[in-house]
Every structure is written in C-alpha cells, then in structure tokens.
Amino acid sequence: GLHVDLSINGCSDSDGEEMYSLDGEEMWFADFINHRGVEPQPSFIDHISLVEGAYEQAVANQQICRSNLKTIREAMKDIPLEN
C-alpha cells in the first residue's frame, strides 16, 4: 500500500521545529530544549530510527533557517505594503 510521509522544518528568532511523520504518526522530532532527537513510537510496532547524526543535522538546519529568515527580512523591509 501507499504511505504518506511528512517532514516539517521551521524557525523563528526564538524557536524552531523539525519533525518527521509517517501515515500521520509522529516518527521523530528534535527536542532543542533537551538537545536530543526523540522517537515517540509505541512499543508494539517495529521501531523506525533515523540515521545517526539526525539531531545534529536538525541543529544545522535551524541555523540555515534563521539565516534565511534574516535575509528575507532584509530583502523585504523596503517593499511597500499593497492593499
């Protein structure tokens, strides 16, 4: 059968999110407060793990996201608002 996977990577100046899901169930997320990746899967399924270094990659992705956010803000600061 077909499966639906989703990944979310987003940031703000003070927060961030990176998460992977499969068929609507959260498979992995980066816990930036406790500095680790979390795999919140129930014990009755075959466990799915991400590759080693996934959390470190999530941290790097947040740095890229914040850099992109800064660039976009600077590029858009002089664009007039339209009705």
Provide the CATH number for the domain around residue 51. 3.10.320.10
pLDDT of residue 45: 85
CA pseudo-torsion sign 36, 42, 44, 48: negative
Domain count, the chain: 1
pLDDT of residue 12: 95
37 assigned to some structural domain: yes
**Helix, strand, coil shares, percent, the chain, to 5:** 30, 30, 45
pLDDT in tens, 24-38: 999 999 999 999 999
Q: Which domain holds residue 52?
A: 5-76
pTM equals 0.83
83 assigned to some structural domain: no
pLDDT in tens, 52-79: 999 999 999 999 999 999 999 999 888 8
